[in-house]
Amino acid sequence: MRVLTPQDLLDRAWRDPDSAAGAMRITEFLTAIPAIGDGKRDRILAELGISPVKRIGGLGTRQRAALWRFLDERWPRLEPRHGRSRLMVLAGPTAVGKGTVAARIAAEHPEIHLSVSATTRPPRPGENDGEHYFFVDDAEFDRMVDQGELLEHATVHNAYRYGTPRAPIDTALAEGRTVLLEIDLQGARQVRAAEPTATLVFLLPPSWDELVHRLVGRGTEGEEERARRLRTAKRELAAQGEFDFRVVNDDVARAAEEVVSLAR
Ligand SMILES: Nc1ncnc2c1ncn2[C@@H]1O[C@H](COP(=O)(O)OP(=O)(O)OP(=O)(O)O)[C@@H](O)[C@H]1O
Ligand SMILES: Nc1nc2c(ncn2[C@@H]2O[C@H](COP(=O)(O)O)[C@@H](O)[C@H]2O)c(=O)[nH]1
C-alpha cells in the first residue's frame, strides 16, 4: 500500500473541510512531517504568512497555494494526487485570457513549467521567438510532425498550425514539475487521448459580450479573423463539459491562483 503523503492529507482536507483532516491545526500538520520540529514549524508559518491558529480546511486560496508550493519544493518527487499526472491543459475560447492567465502563473510560480508551442503563425509585435512561441515555417512544422517531436498539434481557427514540443515536457515531468499547456480544444482532446490522467481546465469568460470586448480590445486581428475566431469560440464553449474543471477569468490574479490550486 502507498504511504500517505502530506499532500494526500491536504487533498483530503480541502475536498472535505469538515473531515478530521480539515479540522487539523496547521501546527499539528507540520510537526507530523518528519524533520519539522516546533522551531522550524514557526519559521515555515511566518514564511508562508499563515497564522498558527488556522485549521487546514480553513486556509484561503493563496495560503493553500503557498503551502502546496512549499511541500512540492521540498518533496518534489512525491506521487501526484489521485493517479493524476502533473500534466495540465488550459484551454478556452479565443481572447478569454488563456495567454494572460498562463503568463501570470509562469511569473508567480516559476516551479511550474509553461510549455512553449511551435506555430506557423507570424509573430505579433512584441512576441519573441522561443519565448512566446517557436515561430517556424510549414516545412519545419512538417519535419517536427514527421519526427514525432510534437505531443499534439492542430490547425487552429482554420488558419495556422500549432503544436506542443514533446521533449521539454518530458524533461520537466521527469524532474517532478507540473507542466502547463495553453492550447486549443483539438489539442486538449489529443492530450486526453495520449495521457488520460492529465488535468484539463477550461477557462470561461464572465459573459459572451465580455469575450467579444476582449478580442476587439486586444486589437491584434482584423475583422475577418475576429469573426473566424468567434465562430470557433462558439464550438469551443459548447465542449466545456469535456473538461475536468471550469474557471471563470473575471480577474487574472484570482483565475491564475484557482488554476494553480487545481494543479495541486
Ligand atoms: N481577467 C481579465 N479581465 C480583463 N481583460 C482581460 C482579462 N484577462 C485577459 N484580458 C485581456 O483580454 C485580451 C485577450 O487575452 P489573451 O490574449 O490572453 O487571450 P487568449 O485566450 O490567449 O486568446 P487567443 O486564444 O486568441 O490567443 C487581452 O487584451 C488581455 O489583456
Ligand atoms: N493545439 C494547440 N493549440 C495551441 C498551441 N499553442 C497555442 N494554441 C492555441 O492557438 C490559439 C491561437 O493562439 P494565438 O497565439 O494565435 O492567439 C489559442 O487558442 C491557443 O491556445 C499548441 O501548441 N497546440
Rounded to whole angstroms, the Cα distance separating 132 from 218 reads 16
Please give the share of the chain, as a percent, with pLDDT higher than 90. Answer: 70
Residue 2 has pLDDT above 60, yes or no: no
Let me know: does 255 contact 206? Beta carbons within 8 Å.
no
Task: Categorize the per-residue pLDDT at 250 as very low, low, confident or very high, splitting at 50, 70 and 90.
Answer: very high
Residue minimizing CA distance to atom 15 of ligand 1: 97
Q: Where are the alpha helices (DSSP H) in 130-199?
A: 138-146, 166-174, 185-194
Rounded to whole angstroms, the Cα distance separating 17 from 58 reads 7
Rounded to whole angstroms, the Cα distance separating 35 from 94 reads 47
Rounded to whole angstroms, the Cα distance separating 262 from 264 reads 5
The per-residue pLDDT for 75 is 64
Side chain identity at 215, as an amino acid letter? Answer: L
Q: What is the mean pLDDT of residues 1-18?
A: 72
Task: Categorize the per-residue pLDDT at 63 as very low, low, confident or very high, splitting at 50, 70 and 90.
Answer: confident
Rounded to whole angstroms, the Cα distance separating 48 from 193 reads 38
Residue minimizing CA distance to atom 21 of ligand 2: 183
The per-residue pLDDT for 126 is 93
Q: Rounded to an integer, what is the distance from CA 245 to the centroid of its chain?
A: 11
Q: For the segment 191-228, what is each residue's pLDDT rounded down to a tens digit?
A: 999 988 899 999 999 999 999 999 999 999 999 999 99
The per-residue pLDDT for 83 is 60
Task: Confirm whether residue 93 is marked as ligand binding.
Answer: yes
Side chain identity at 75, as an amino acid letter? Answer: W
Rounded to whole angstroms, the Cα distance separating 16 from 62 reads 18
Residue 178 has pLDDT above 50, yes or no: yes
Closest CA to 248 of 89, 87, 114, 92: 92
Instruction: Give the closest ligand to the alpha carbon of residue 214.
Output: 1
- Evaluate whether ipTM surpasses 0.85: yes
Whole-number average pLDDT of the chain: 90
Our answer on whether the CB atom of 249 is closer than 6 Å to any ligand 1 atom is: yes
The per-residue pLDDT for 1 is 41
Q: What is the mean pLDDT of residues 49-74?
A: 86
Q: What is the mean pLDDT of residues 102-117?
A: 94
Q: Which residue has the higher pLDDT, 256 or 8?
A: 256
CA of 230 to the centre of ligand 2 (A): 14
pTM value > 0.80: no
CA of 214 to the centre of ligand 1 (A): 6
The per-residue pLDDT for 263 is 82
The per-residue pLDDT for 78 is 47
Which segments of the chain are extended strands (E)?
87-91, 113-114, 118-119, 134-135, 150-156, 160-165, 179-182, 199-204, 245-248
The per-residue pLDDT for 3 is 53
Q: How far is the CA of 1 from the CAs of 4, 234, in angstroms?
A: 9, 46
Q: What is the mean pLDDT of residues 140-158?
A: 95
Residue minimizing CA distance to atom 2 of ligand 2: 183
Task: Confirm whether residue 234 is marked as ligand binding.
Answer: no
Side chain identity at 125, as an amino acid letter? Answer: P
